[in-house]
Chain A
Amino acid sequence: MRLNETDVNRSQGADVLAPRDESELAAIIAESHASARPLRIVGGGTRVKMVETEHSRLLTTRQLSGIVTYEPGELTLIARAGTPVEEIEQMLAAERQTLAFEPMDHRSLLASKGTPTIGGVVSANVSGPRRVQVGACRDHLLGIRFVDGRGRIIKNGGRVMKNVTGLNLGKLLCGAYGALGVLTEVALKTLPMAESEQTLIFGGISVAEAVEIFLAGLSTPFEISGAAFHGGSAWLRIEGLSHQVEYRRERLTALFRHRTIDICKDEKSKALWRSLRDLRHFSDTTDAVWRIFVKPTDAPAVVTALQTLGGQVSLDWGGGLIWYCGIGDAVSVRKAAGSGQATLVRGGALCGDLIFAPERKGVAELSAALRRTFDPARIFNVGLMGSLDADKVY
């Protein structure tokens, strides 16, 4: 159960633990708990460069792989945490279904190799452009199995869409970056692929105009499923049944009749959104990349403030998400973000990566209490999630 370190693209460090099943994982964690030896948890290792903590042993869920069940008629998929996302997407595509939250592939942005796993996607709540219409990864998560910081194997949720039995731990672990437990299995809702899609392209516009277009588009009933901006162009995506998409395109072009609009369809549109999703436009620089959540109406002002720091921006989620790629330091970026929330996603020249926005006091205390509950010996991803305030309270 020990892998060669190069298998997970790790540049330094000692042993890599790669349990083959849940009980092996539970044994490793129980032992780490007893000896209070920290573990750094990775899936396929596509983001492993991001954090390096001293004295941690690396643990990968890569060998906990395979699809447990897939029921297209029920729109549900259960997969082990280490299952490659690609394998899942292929299996779904064969049934013309998909993970509607369209998780981003970080490899081009982070210049990493590895194989993205579904457990990694869920742990980081990775949600692409369609977030604006269908919700985040956590909204598609139906259930989980995981091992907590004492080595207990725990299940929560299930495989059905509606389930309010007990506390919802799935959504809590989704986006917890492994700080509360190691996922071994996830149940996700799948959705039929759209029969057709089209993208309206608005060229030569400013950020403020883009946000105006987003607000107008997203206030219509036409179910815009992507609203992004970069380099003077804004894009609105519509998806659905063929007639529906034609009709919606007509209505939207009428709504924006004073603007010049280009249209791209199906395969071309798909390729465009894949590239936007993966931030290909920031893959040829090495500057730091920040993810900033804002109120869409605040986006133009925040962008103006960011631009004075130097660098470039793109928008997603109808202006609710700003990607900033530049050399601004953390304090200046947070200041520019105003009431928004900035997370460092690619370190660039800044030291450390994946640095989260500080939490409000009461919230930080609750987070710390939850971490103590799930991981009393503090062995999971120490110094990563909520590392700033929560750790002080800890």
Chain B
Amino acid sequence: MSMIAMPIPDEGIIARKSEIVAALAAALPAEIIISDPEETRAYECDALTAYRCPPLAVVLPRTTEEVATAMRICHGLRVPVIPRGAGTSLAGGALPTADSVVIGTMRLREFLEIDTANRFIRVQTGVTNLSVSAELEAEGFFYAPDPSSQLACTIAGNIAMNSGGAHCLKYGVTINNLLGVRMVLSTGEIVELGGPLLGASGLDILALICGSEGQLAIVTEATLRILPKPEGARPILIGFDSAEIAGECVAQIIRSGVLPVAIEYMDEMCVRAVEAFAKAGYPNCAAVLIVEVEGSEAEIDDQTQRIRAIAAEFDPVEFRTSSNAAESLAIWKGRKSAFGAMGRLGDYLCLDGTVPVSMLPYTLKRIGELAKDYNLEVANVFHAGDGNMHPLILFNANRPGELERAEALGNDILRLCVDVGGCLSGEHGVGVEKRDLMATQFAPDDMAIQMEIKDAFDPEWLLNPAKVFPLDVSRPHRERGARCD
């Protein structure tokens, strides 16, 4: 039905299922191994639900050592391994194959060390993103990266995808807030990188692990940089009657020297959906920006005035400030319920390309034109401050051919992002979703060296092998891997 192919599973491995499960069971507690087909189904997909395939078995370790044992056994038996956190990947990064074992790290849920003096926290990676900040709340600190999925997604997934969030404009993404990891290599060897220090000599292997989509190692512990909480934060809502003008206003704010923590964008279709769903009281207009500034009351007022002056040049239909917590919540309410609201309208594909901020107006216009060509509707809601777009393509999965059409439109939109100087993925990763588009952004040598790095870490290509690189491009590496001993 759908367009993205997965490699043909290795029947030899599938036939050895009982041997593989027995080997795992001999070395690990029974309660962390799942092999009943009824139960492995729960792991058949992540948030890219159009693609599903139950794995051979699932292991849910509670310690790094258990992860290492499971990995060593899979390595010995040459079974592919799919690392998994909470399964909220929108790129199909945690999608299994029938011949694979899922190693899920969501039971690694301990907070190991909080050191506010040296400003770091050390956690096991199965903790959710939100729980890290919750753990620090009483100390007056927080962990900055805040993906919208933060209630569910884990630090493991955040590291694997180098996840971002609304507040990344000021605080950076996961890699800018990650100080060290403990991880398990494909052989089962445990390695530690970095730590609480602000610098390290030697190669920055940590930067390679972060964003490697589970292809280089399974990360089991992380040392994260933490920040003192700002005195206060307040959102401003600005409405425009043209999407392009809203885009220009974003570029002006960025340039001005005021550094908002977030600039979020929603288009008319998204605003309407949100109004129907959450009744956030947004103005009825072509585009809404939510700009959040931080600091003391006086600092917030000062920044708000500056933003007001910039916005005034673009003739906004509304400039709404908040004077208390309830009003702030109301302004954020619409944005936060955007994905849920869009879900009400039907099935959607959530894209994730980045474009240079100056190209936002043009890109928005072209997306509109492309959507018309494909006779599909696209809503836009995204992190505008850093040009990270999330066009949502609406379709009806029950109508034959519509998913394929939506995917084809999605591919055209992502190609557009690359053409205007941007990239295929700003924060969701490549996974299987964008795998086959990699050649639009990378020349053969650009991809070759990345696969050679995977060869160096995982010569047998056991970790998440069918992701990130187009299958025909990675085939020689995977086949060589299958032959190596």
Where the two chains meet, the residues of A that have a C-beta atom closer than 8 Å to any C-beta of B are 71-76, 96, 125, 127, 131-132, 135-136, 138-139, 148, 152-156, 158-169, 171-172, 174-176, 179-180, 191-193, 195, 215, 218-221, 241, 243-244, 247, 291, 293-297, 317, 320-321, 340-341, 343, 356-357, 359-360, 362-363, 366-367, 369-370, 372-374, 385-386
Contact = CB atoms under 8 A, between A and B. Distances in A.
Given A172-B203, A219-B140, A370 B426 contact: no
17 contacts: A127-B199, A154-B446, A160-B423, A162-B386, A165-B424, A168-B175, A172-B207, A174-B204, A174-B207, A192-B259, A218-B228, A241-B303, A244-B299, A247-B299, A295-B197, A367-B205, A386-B203
Given A96-B257, A370-B453, A161 B446 contact: no
A297 B196 CA distance: 11
B176 A139 contact: yes
Contacts of B20: none
Contact of B211 (A155, A164, A321): A164
Contacts of B426: 160, 162-164
A12 B429 CA distance: 49
A79 B482 CA distance: 42
Contacts of A159: 356, 421
Q: Which of A161, A218, A367 has the most CB of B within 10 A?
A: A161
Contacts of B255: 72-73, 75, 192
A317 B198 CA distance: 8
Interface residues of B, number: 91
Report which residue of B207, B251, B355, B456 has the largest number of chain A beta carbons within 10 angstroms of its beta carbon.
B207
Interface in B227-261: 228-231, 251-252, 254-259
B457 interface: yes
Contact of A362 (B172, B191, B198, B211): B191
Contacts of A247: 296, 298-299
Given A131-B198, A164-B428, A172 B208 contact: yes
Interface in B255-285: 255-259
B118 A373 contact: no
B457 A369 contact: yes
B259 to A, nearest CB: 8
Contact of B201 (A174, A320, A343, A373): A343
A193 to B, nearest CB: 8
A74 B201 contact: no
Given A159-B356, A179-B203, A363-B191, 4 more contacts: A164-B161, A167-B208, A362-B190, A372-B456
Contacts of B387: 74, 160-162
Interface string B283-327: 000000000000110110011001000000000000000000000
B146 interface: no
Given A219-B228, A293-B200, A168 B208 contact: yes
B132 interface: no
A127 to B, nearest CB: 8
Given A162-B168, A219-B140, A373-B455, A138 B423 contact: no
B90 to A, nearest CB: 12
B199 A373 contact: no
A161 B388 CA distance: 8
B453 A165 contact: no
Contact of A73 (B357, B449, B456): B357
B198 A363 contact: no
A175 B199 CA distance: 10
B370 to A, nearest CB: 20
A356 B196 CA distance: 18
Contacts of A366: 191, 203, 205, 456-457
B211 A167 contact: yes
Given A162-B386, A163-B354, A370 B203 contact: yes
B203 A180 contact: yes
Given A74-B356, A154-B446, A165-B441, A243 B198 contact: no
B380 to A, nearest CB: 16
B360 to A, nearest CB: 10
A124 to B, nearest CB: 10
Nearest to A369: B456
A172 B209 CA distance: 10
B445 interface: yes
